[in-house]
Chain A
Amino acid sequence: MNRIAGIWILLLSFCQAMAQTDSVAESTPARFQVQGYLKNLQTLAFSPEKGSLTTSNFLHNRLNFSYQLSPGLSVRLELRTRLFWGEQVRLTPDFAQLADYESGIMDLSWISIEAPALVCHTIADRLSLNWQNQNWDITLGRQRINWGITTAWNPNDLFNAFNFFDFDYEERPGSDALRVRYSSDGMSGFDLAVSRGKAANTTTAALLYRFNTGGYDLQFLGAWYRDDLALGAGWAGSIGDAGFKGEATWFQPRSGFADSTGTLSLTLESNYSFETGWYIGAAYLFTGTGHSDPNALDLLTAQQLSAKMLMPFKHAVLAQSAKQITPLFMANLSLIYCPGPDALIVFPVLTYSLNDNWDLNFVAQSFFIPENMRFKNEGNALILRLKWGF
């Protein structure tokens, strides 16, 4: 932990020194780069059913450092710091320990403040060394391996399942892994990755081959995935002017391989943009291991999700619409309906650009489950987010 803090301070002082070099050599990228953001989130969570109302606040900072050691060799460190305060921190037992969840083999996180209603947590979710040349690209360390080819749900994304509702952490946690990529032509190639987590049975070793043909991006993968063997495929192309994408992965338990039954995770999606500025999209997700009990909605937390179970229900349908209302104002609405338990999730996002580097978002997430032939509001979260990018 102290070592990381040391690196952080060292890198920050580098930024100062490098800033001038950067402005002079406008068209050649600087060897040292730093980028990041600061976000403030105000959340109001309430449930009419339970009569509960909780406010929470947090500041979310990200610092991305990269340094080019030589033309092919670079290091990368990215730090995510969150400062939580208020009611939710006070009311949640062991809040700091919950925030400090880390699945990797390297311990790269620490809590710097822990008070009754104030917690500050930092994690290095990227710390890696990369070497590349014309055809090869090798990364060792904590990194994100994103194998998704569709937009909403990604059964092929074995290393880093994306929670559709976790809109504030699009970078996602890193995997502690070795990744080797080879491409001879830049449009097709192999991607081999091996990762291990701290817990037992978290080893994943997978090989993916991707290529582009006839207007389609295609990929095939085979993996030793935790307790399973996995085989998957994905595509991204179009039918007419509409996008047409899909991903499927079959998981077969390794123990009792012949007689056990496997499970499928599959998604299909399509999207279309109209000349008037409207965007519409639809997606379907089949989850073989999905539940039918509406209360399984609680499983929808980042730590429970995996490529094998991206939604807690067997079937999920997403309808999405977005419109650029003015050049500065964007509105987006996602509706997710899960036919088995009849769960409905309403997820609007409004984005307003305050200036070149400041954005204001309003996000709502409302969950409904059926009761006496109608939808009962189970819980809601209203979030106001101010973001400054630098």
Chain B
Amino acid sequence: MLKYFILTCGAIMIFFPLLAQKTEDATAIVRKADERMRGKTSIAEMSIITVRPKWTRTMDMKIWTKGTQYAMILVQAPAKEKGTAFLKRNKEVWNWLPTLERTIKLPPSMMSQSWMGTDFTNDDLVKESSVIEDYAHKLLGSAMEAGRDCYKIELIPKPEAAVVWGKIILWIDKKEYIQMRTEFYDEEGELSQTMVGSELKMLGGILLPSRMEMIPVGKKGHSTTLLYKSLVFNTPLGDDFFTTVKMSRVK
């Protein structure tokens, strides 16, 4: 459960900030995009679909975020998990279990557990600011992706950065600043996994991929897809929304 929580918080915080300003400086694109999202809110309804050669599991969720400080997730499906909620306030995380009618405070170590069952890693998801601070950015040039003209930006980790990737390459649409494709390379320089955005829609007043699929290399039939059903940015959400009392009440 928690992995989905962090997975989705992370996905929102990492991937949407990359809607950059109109500048061709690679770092500026990434930084301004990131800053643009800070201090604002999002409310999203999405499905996470985990696909393996022999099975598929789907989870529906509603997620509220405010900056990187606050997040709340409500599980809407499957039925057996419905009503389960998670709250993140800075470094503290709580879990509401409707069957027990109680809140459980989770130990910090649960934040760093591995994301078994999805194709995301801890480093992808938790360290949401690392795209800016932990990498040096370099504009490689232009490339077409899904029929759209994109900036191709290379991210190389800074020597002191504690990240698992050896390199990340981003494809960002020149016109709408949509992150269309991301390639994650391991420390040996081998391609490890690819994240592909597709099915562009107006979400939260911005054109965004409503479908994001993470595909690991060399694992046939494995993928994890985030499917956005709705997304609203900048709805006023007070800090008092992100509380344990509210967590037990959200619907």
Chain B hits for A237, CB < 8 A: 105
Give the contact stretch, choosing among B109-117, B154-162, B188-196, B204-212.
B109-117
The residue in chain A whose Cβ has the minimal distance to the Cβ of B97 is: A170
Contacts of B83 in A (CB 8 A): 35
Whether A186 contacts B244 by the Cβ 8 Å rule is yes
How far does the alpha carbon of A240 sit from the alpha carbon of B91 in the complex, in Å?
12
Q: Does A295 contact B (CB under 8 A)?
A: no
Q: Once bound together, how far apart are the Cα atoms of A286 and B79, in whole Å? A: 38
User: Is A132 in contact with B249, judged by CB distance below 8 angstroms?
Assistant: yes
A245 to B110, CA, bound (A): 15
Contact yes or no, A242 B107, CB < 8 A = yes
Q: Which residues of B contact A390 (CB under 8 A)?
A: 79
| Residues in chain A near residue B107, CB distance under 8 A | 238, 241-243, 271-273
> Is A259 positioned at the interface, with any CB of B under 8 Å from its CB?
no
- B110 near A170 (CB under 8 angstroms)? no
B104 touches A151 (CB 8 A): yes
Q: Could you tell me if B79 and A35 are in contact, using CB atoms closer than 8 angstroms? A: yes
Q: Residues of B contacting A217 with CB < 8 Å?
A: 105, 244
Count of chain A to chain B residue pairs whose CB atoms are closer than 8 Å in the complex: 110
- B200-251 interface with A by 8 A CB criterion: 229-230, 240, 243-246, 249, 251
Q: How far is the CA of A324 from the CA of B2 in the complex (A)?
A: 13
Give, as a whole number of angstroms, the nearest-CB distance from B23 to chain A. 36
**Count of chain B residues near A, Cβ 8 A:** 42
Kindly state whether residue A371 has any CB partner on chain B within 8 Å: no
Closest Cβ of chain B: how far from A111's Cβ, in Å?
A: 25
Q: Mark A358-390, 1 if CB is under 8 A from B, else 0.
A: 010000000000000000000000000001011
20 contacts across the A-B interface (CB closer than 8 A): A132-B249, A183-B243, A183-B245, A212-B92, A217-B244, A238-B108, A241-B107, A243-B105, A271-B107, A273-B109, A273-B113, A274-B109, A277-B114, A327-B50, A328-B57, A353-B57, A356-B57, A356-B58, A356-B77, A359-B80
Chain A interface (Cβ < 8 Å from any Cβ of B): 26-27, 29, 35, 37, 132, 137, 144, 146, 148-149, 151, 170-171, 183, 185-187, 189, 212, 215, 217, 236-238, 240-243, 245, 271-277, 324, 326-328, 353, 355-357, 359, 387, 389-390
Q: Write the residues of chain B forming the contact surface with A, with a CB cutoff of 8 angstroms.
A: 45, 50, 52, 55, 57-58, 62, 77-83, 91-92, 99-102, 104-110, 112-114, 116-117, 122, 229-230, 240, 243-246, 249, 251
